[in-house]
Structure 1
Amino acid sequence: MSKPIVAIVGRPNVGKSTLFNALAGEKISIVKDTPGVTRDRIYADISWLDYQFTMIDTGGIEPDTGDMMLSHMRDQAEIAIETADVIIFLTDVRQGLVDADYQVADMLRRSQKPVVLAVNKVDNYEKFIMDTYEFYNLGLGTPFPVSANSKLGFGDLLDEVIANCNPETLKEEEDERPRVAIIGKPNAGKSSMINKMLGEDRLIVSDVAGTTRDAIDTVIRRGDKEYVFIDTAGLRRKSRIKEDLERYSVIRTVAAVERCDVAILVIDAEEGITEQDAKIAGIAHERGKGMIIAVNKWDLVEKNDKTIYKYTNKIREVLSFMSYAELVFVSAKTGQRFQKIFDLLDVVIENHALRVQTGVLNEILAEAVAMKQPPSDKGKRLKLYYMTQVSVKPPTFVVFVNDKKLTHFSYTRYLENQIRNTFGFRGTPIRIYTRERKER
């Protein structure tokens, strides 16, 4: 199910990260008074009543000078407009309405995306409620008073966010065609790859990082199969600051990965695998997507008989959390091994949606337990009664046990390996959960 994406936009120090953390229910962004510390976790899955959505904190690194700051706010709003289904525009009741708020409001209005206006730092309703009325002047409808710090006013705010989530965003499910996201750092050659697959230059490719304009879905037909490619290459602007560019590429990745079945991580062979690649891959892994790693620009690497092993080992080491991912060395320039990408895609798409019969699963479980005793603690041993598959995309299994506390992650990993040995599940993560069941 594709979840709607909700982005928080606002000036520095209005409390974006505090609101984000309070809604996410855990300290994800680091909140300090130094602008720009919101670096790492900038997205989280939020549940409200029966609804789920992905929230993005656009934070960013904020220059202090007036004009720099405005251009920065505009960039931020632009990213939100581009990727989000609904935008929360956060303002500050104590600073009141300022020029920058009006300018961002204009942009948001023109975008015609739904905007929910929130006025933060209303810790005392009686004292500040009159001041919130001033924000009607932005022309964005009713201002919702909240206090991110004291966690007040969230219910009304989230109800409004859900009311603005377009049911259309949830309809993509009816499209049966597999959806593939091309992800990776700016300039790894994502657009060139899609162009090569299309056999025509539909996406603008140039050597400047971040030139692709918008994420455009591209349908590629091969034989009797159609694939929908979601391009994340686009960043609207050339960033002045490396962290900025990285942050935006993470936001774009979240938006695309949310909508795909399989992600192809493009790595620049000349540069080798980096931490930023791992961060981007982690987004797809966390969201349980099928995974192919394509090392691009392979034609530019000087090779001997050990090169491919060295590259493979390095990638497997950095991406050790996704040992299931398929790996292919390609060149978007020459088209080398592009046929292989499609062959792998078909395998991964099939595995990502594979169902295993319960009877067969339990045979594997019995065999696994016979080969390796489950762990025990203080004389009490873990018993595994029964295993069943509860969902696909990614394949998800539940094991019923006598005592959840005795389940050690290493034993769960052992079970995963046994399942993989039998069914392969190449290219897809699998999830195994344990549930307790009292002995009869």
Structure 2
Amino acid sequence: MSFTVAIIGRPNVGKSTLFNRLVGKRLALVDDTPGVTRDRREGEARIGSLKFKVIDTAGLEEAFDDSLEGRMRRQTEMALEEADVALMIFDARAGVTPMDKHFAGWLRKTEKPVILCANKCEGRIAETEMMEAYSLGLGDPIALSAEHGEGIGELFDALLPFEVEQVPDVAAKDRPLALAIVGRPNAGKSTLVNHLIGEERLLTGPEAGVTRDSISVEWEFEGQKIKLVDTAGIRRRSRVQKKLEKLSVADSLRVIKLAEVVVLVIDADVSFEKQDLTIAAHVIEEGRGLVVAVNKWDTVRDRNAMLQHIRDKLQISLPQVRGVPVVTLSALTGRGLEKLLPQVIRVYELWNKRIPTSQLNRWLEHMLEKHPPPMAKGRRLKVRYITQVKSRPPTFSLFMSSRGELPESYLRYLINGLREDFDMPAVPIRIATRTGKNPYVKE
């Protein structure tokens, strides 16, 4: 299962009924008598294409001793620790009770994301009582009828951000790292590949455009399998006239799309040109990790000025990926080459990085306090929680209210915060915002 959901609430609000609805079977006993469920029960739940583990818990009681109620409460606390998100259920017919408020306050103090659900909303007969739910401080409630299956679509939308990409359980060193070597013509890409693998595998020469096809070479570095791909030089589109060169450039761009980390080789003799930045921007747009290799470094006289010039260009032209590693080397002599592959593997690890949801939401709370979201239509946009939905590259889903969209400037603020606080330089970071439907708006 991709994530775990704990159903929590006071006794007799319909937790077990919802549990049975989600798992598609009558696994949990259901009765009007409060306190039927005592142990936590787990099941494999499914809503449409969304699969997850769900935990049914005993009704929360204000008991902290070794009594039966106290032991039941500890089981609920253990379920909450195991879960990625909690569903707090309250009875919309009975309205918000003091016990609901007490346990909502307890949930707010935890680090788990909470989705508030108003159960027993058949035919919207309890719609007025649902307005009290805002006093719980857990955001917009979802109107449900666990018994009749109403509101499950809205619950699907709320749980979707917690779905994580299913990655095969294969050790990183058992998967070959797809590494592309790109750059302008005659930058020394093939010479670099030959020196890395220790043989004259690729044709080289002083003429520009010697390499026409993308050449793949299987290789291994310190136990990490690597699939090296040398590409044809990429010139400005206005300079590409011949059909063969157009095909070569198109093949190089295809290799970038299939790579995981890209090494952009720069010719130090001609400095850092606009075409280099164009290639780097294309790498980031494709979501690949980036390392810059400055070749022919042994011919540079003022090395400090050259290095600062390259870093300044990257900082100004590629602000969306701060901290791109810059490695200086000579592909012909091999000097400085030992620094390249460790940087590639580090970027590869960052590209695969995954951050726990609890850490992300602690971080988000700090970022919102530091710089609250802007106003929209006279009301402040409300961000509820964040979760990482996939890696390769790191991609996050930000769940928020439906009153408006976050401006690009605020998303950049969050992305820069993620990059700095979780140490993720050189890889693109993506954030997608998600909003839920307002259950009070009749279609």
Normalising by structure 1, we get a TM-score of 0.56
- Structure 2 CA distance for aligned equivalents of residues 305 and 345 of structure 1: 23
- Structure 1 CA distance for aligned equivalents of residues 298 and 189 of structure 2: 16
Q: 1:310 to 1:277 in 2, by over 3 A?
A: closer
Q: Does 1:279 find its partner at 2:288?
A: no
Q: Does 1:342 find its partner at 2:337?
A: no
- Structure 2 CA distance for aligned equivalents of residues 213 and 250 of structure 1: 8
Is the radius of gyration larger for structure 1 or structure 2? 2
Q: 1:378 to 1:214 in 2, by over 3 A?
A: closer
Q: Does 1:299 find its partner at 2:298?
A: yes
Q: CA deviation at 1:438?
A: 4.7
How many residue pairs get aligned? The number is 265
Q: 1:234 to 1:298 in 2, by over 3 A?
A: closer
Q: Does 1:314 find its partner at 2:316?
A: no
Normalising by structure 2, we get a TM-score of 0.56
Match of 2:188 in 1: 189
- CA deviations on 1:132-170 (whole Å, 9 max, x unpaired) are xxxxxxxxxxxxxxxxxxxxxxxxxxxxxxxxxxxxxxx
Q: CA deviation at 1:272?
A: 1.6
- CA deviations on 1:229-270 (whole Å, 9 max, x unpaired) are 1111379xx99x832377555412221112211111111111
Q: 1:211 to 1:306 in 2, by over 3 A?
A: closer
Match of 2:350 in 1: 351
- Structure 2 CA distance for aligned equivalents of residues 315 and 360 of structure 1: 30
The within-5 A match list for 1:12-27 is none
Contact 1:362–1:386 (8 Å) recurs in 2: yes
Q: CA deviation at 1:315?
A: 3.7
Match of 2:241 in 1: 244
Match of 1:137 in 2: none
The within-5 A match list for 1:253-292 is 253-292=252-291
Give the letter aligned to residue 212 of structure 1: T
3-state SS of 1:398 partner:
strand
Contact 1:324–1:429 (8 Å) recurs in 2: no
Match of 1:393 in 2: 392
For the aligned residues, what is the CA RMSD?
2.7
Q: Does 1:432 find its partner at 2:421?
A: no
Q: CA deviation at 1:279?
A: 2.2
Match of 2:329 in 1: 330
- CA deviations on 1:275-304 (whole Å, 9 max, x unpaired) are 222222222111101111111111111125
- Structure 1 CA distance for aligned equivalents of residues 320 and 248 of structure 2: 21
- Structure 2 CA distance for aligned equivalents of residues 396 and 343 of structure 1: 24
Give the letter aligned to residue 368 of structure 2: V
Q: Which deviates more, 317-326 or 335-344? A: 317-326
- Structure 2 CA distance for aligned equivalents of residues 323 and 250 of structure 1: 27
Give the letter aligned to residue 418 of structure 1: G
Match of 1:147 in 2: none
Contact 2:232–2:249 (8 Å) recurs in 1: no
Match of 1:221 in 2: 220
- Structure 1 CA distance for aligned equivalents of residues 239 and 333 of structure 2: 30
Q: 1:203 to 1:404 in 2, by over 3 A?
A: farther
- Structure 1 CA distance for aligned equivalents of residues 432 and 222 of structure 2: 39
- Structure 2 CA distance for aligned equivalents of residues 394 and 204 of structure 1: 33
Q: CA deviation at 1:274?
A: 1.9
Match of 2:40 in 1: none
Among all aligned residue pairs of Structure 1 and Structure 2, give the percentage whose two residues are the same amino acid: 36
Match of 2:364 in 1: 365
3-state SS of 2:332 partner:
coil
Give the letter aligned to residue 352 of structure 2: A
- CA deviations on 1:2-54 (whole Å, 9 max, x unpaired) are xxxxxxxxxxxxxxxxxxxxxxxxxxxxxxxxxxxxxxxxxxxxxxxxxxxxx
- Structure 2 CA distance for aligned equivalents of residues 392 and 334 of structure 1: 37
- Structure 2 CA distance for aligned equivalents of residues 186 and 291 of structure 1: 19
The within-5 A match list for 1:140-219 is 176-219=175-218
Q: CA deviation at 1:305?
A: 4.3
- CA deviations on 1:83-141 (whole Å, 9 max, x unpaired) are xxxxxxxxxxxxxxxxxxxxxxxxxxxxxxxxxxxxxxxxxxxxxxxxxxxxxxxxxxx
3-state SS of 2:398 partner:
strand
Q: 1:429 to 1:232 in 2, by over 3 A?
A: same
The within-5 A match list for 1:95-114 is none
- Structure 1 CA distance for aligned equivalents of residues 309 and 280 of structure 2: 20
- Structure 2 CA distance for aligned equivalents of residues 390 and 356 of structure 1: 10
Give the letter aligned to residue 382 of structure 2: K
- Structure 2 CA distance for aligned equivalents of residues 222 and 185 of structure 1: 26
Gaps of 5+ in 2: 1-171
Contact 1:298–1:331 (8 Å) recurs in 2: yes
Contact 1:292–1:325 (8 Å) recurs in 2: yes
